Chains A and B, each alone.
Chain A
């Protein structure tokens, strides 16, 4: 599975757009990019998933350049409730089955939204 690298922490203010970039230089052809959000004392929650170009849902947008070696999660107009840890995950389910799985979430990016 591709190793991912993302910033340890980011600060922002209410109403601003937050962009978190994840590097995954060794991404494989079958790999999808998935982002999760985790609030304190809760399990991670799926935010968005993509393979290439741009994906948008009601919560966020995911930008993936043509080489797919990085991806950027964009949170529009954040509020205090968006303070959480955000994890970037790269992989595919077939690799999980075949390789005995080394799926890890890494340390994530701690986003603090200030008033």
Chain B
């Protein structure tokens, strides 16, 4: 039972390079999320997808794009990486039923450094 799987676990990029972070969940969840967490801080939502085929901006979307490829997969792309995007990126999913704030299930993160 893998839950939420993120790849890669670590990556170092040079400024201006592009990269796609991959996320897949095997829980048949409708909603998926991308967060970033900077050292000593809480998580901030970048983008989310309430269902297959839909995506919406979160708190800090600038510099990122996302694709909800199918119900299982939600990718995050950095088109032109900047040092300010050095962070740990977490993907999450939730079942999302009605009004209840469904618990989110998180992956173990991708640690991204941009030089």
- A45 shortest CB reach to chain B, Å: 7
A42-B108 contact given A104-B45, A105-B43, CB 8 Å threshold: yes
Q: Which residues of A contact B56 (CB under 8 A)?
A: 97, 100-101
- B40 shortest CB reach to chain A, Å: 8
- A47 shortest CB reach to chain B, Å: 9
Scoring B41, B48, B98, B104 by chain A CB atoms within 10 A of each residue's CB, the highest score goes to B104
- A18 shortest CB reach to chain B, Å: 19
Pick from A87, A89, A92, A103: contact of B100, CB under 8 Å:
A92
A72 at the B interface (CB under 8 A):
no
Number of A-B contacts (CB under 8 A): 82
Which residues 77-94 in B have Cβ within 8 Å of A in the complex?
Answer: 90, 92, 94
Interface size (B, Cβ < 8 Å)?
Answer: 32
* CB <8 Å contact, B50 and A96: yes
* CB <8 Å contact, B41 and A102: no
- A77 shortest CB reach to chain B, Å: 24
Pick from A42, A46, A104, A108: contact of B104, CB under 8 Å:
A46
* CB <8 Å contact, A49 and B103: yes
Sample (12) of A-B pairs whose CB atoms are under 8 Å apart? A42-B106, A43-B4, A43-B90, A43-B109, A49-B101, A87-B42, A93-B97, A93-B99, A96-B48, A97-B50, A102-B58, A103-B58
